């Protein structure tokens, strides 16, 4: 078991250069075994500040919280390809001089799963409902059309709320949690610029055979109240990987890291200390 050390209260901003030359920003805080955090679709590293998730994790680990490309202080490229996001996460992991636990939520879980194929510097993998579609029938063209109609009419907040509830599958209670955050208005204004990234996720085809050699200890987290497609994706990843453990957050949905922060941080820290 890793021994915890006295927490480091300082926050250090760092930059790595991804494979395509894009600069990816992340913050480092805490002390102990390294833990890399990859946030969900429309957020940035500050989502982990809600309910002190990052500060709790930083009491026992060294937390590296990424700003995915196009967010925060990270750069971006003119053309978007999901592979670049996989490479971004791997670049941050590779920049750390000891094996890390890689944690991704939602879209961040998807990019973290693929990053695991692109680095050998992992001691563990934590995925909370990675957001990709195993069954293409789960993708609703009608929902995308409705969302775009709202945005084209200048109804940015309504379009963003529609995305969160109808496409991302958050409950109204989970939406209220994020809506109360000081970053809400900024996320609303930025949302239309991120649409090309979301549009590419349904194109992804999950091939379990590609992950046959991934033996990294993996903790899969899911909510009992999440939409069925998230739970189906979690099940598919569980079947594809060889060294997994599944934990279900009863009574919670896709936003479990925020609606059950104590349970979430307890599960993560237990895993970091004993990933096998």
The pLDDT of residue 97 = 96
| Inter-CA distances, 249 with 59, 225, 262, Å | 23, 8, 11
Encode pLDDT of 15-71 as tens digits. Answer: 999 999 999 999 999 999 999 999 999 899 999 999 999 999 999 999 999 999 999
| Inter-CA distances, 192 with 75, 165, 188, 189, 220, Å | 17, 16, 8, 7, 30
Q: Judge whether 201 lies within some domain.
A: no
Q: Judge whether 231 lies within some domain.
A: yes
Q: Judge whether 166 lies within some domain.
A: no
Instruction: Quote the Cα angle for 190-193-196, to 5°.
Output: 140
Encode pLDDT of 72-83 as tens digits. Answer: 999 999 889 999
Q: Judge whether 257 lies within some domain.
A: yes
Q: Judge whether 186 lies within some domain.
A: no
Q: Judge whether 2 lies within some domain.
A: no
Q: What is the percent of the chain where pLDDT is above 90?
A: 83
CATH of the domain at 79: 3.40.50.1820
**Residue 18 structure tokens:** 């991804």
Encode pLDDT of 187-214 as tens digits. Answer: 999 999 888 787 788 889 999 999 999 9
The pLDDT of residue 276 = 57
Q: Judge whether 1 lies within some domain.
A: no
Contact 19, 84 (CB under 8 A): yes
Say yes or no to pLDDT of 9 above 60: no
Q: Judge whether 220 lies within some domain.
A: yes
As for how many domains the chain has, the answer is 1
Encode pLDDT of 217-237 as tens digits. Answer: 999 999 999 999 999 999 999
Domain extent at residue 83 = 11-136+206-273
Position 6 confidence tier, pLDDT thresholds 50, 70, 90: very low
């Amino acid at each position: 078991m890793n021994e915890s050390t006295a927490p480091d209260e300082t926050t250090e901003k760092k930059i790595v250069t991804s494979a395509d030359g894009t600069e990816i920003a992340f913050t480092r805080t805490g002390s102990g075994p390294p833990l890399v955090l990859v946030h969900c679709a429309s957020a940035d590293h500050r989502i982990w500040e809600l309910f002190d998730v990052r500060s709790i994790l930083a009491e026992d680990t060294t937390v590296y919280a990424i700003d995915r490309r196009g967010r925060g202080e990270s750069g971006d490229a003119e053309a978007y390809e999901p592979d670049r996001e996989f490479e971004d996460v791997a670049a941050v992991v590779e920049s750390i001089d000891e094996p890390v636990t890689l944690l991704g939520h939602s879209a961040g879980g998807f990019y973290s799963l693929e990053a695991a194929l692109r680095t050998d510097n992992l001691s563990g993998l934590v995925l909370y409902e990675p957001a990709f579609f195993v069954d293409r029938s789960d993708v609703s063209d009608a929902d995308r059309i409705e969302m775009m109609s709202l945005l084209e009419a200048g109804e940015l907040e309504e379009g963003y709320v529609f995305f969160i509830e109808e496409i991302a599958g958050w409950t109204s209670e989970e939406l209220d949690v994020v809506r109360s955050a000081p970053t809400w208005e900024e996320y609303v204004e930025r949302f239309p610029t991120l649409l090309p990234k979301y549009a590419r996720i349904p194109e992804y085809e999950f091939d379990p055979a590609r992950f046959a050699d991934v033996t990294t200890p993996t903790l899969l987290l899911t909510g009992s109240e999440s939409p069925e497609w998230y739970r189906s994706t979690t099940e598919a990843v569980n079947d594809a990987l060889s060294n997994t453990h599944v934990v279900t957050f009863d009574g919670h949905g896709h936003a479990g890291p925020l609606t059950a922060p104590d349970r979430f941080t307890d599960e993560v820290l237990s895993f970091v200390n004993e990933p096998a």
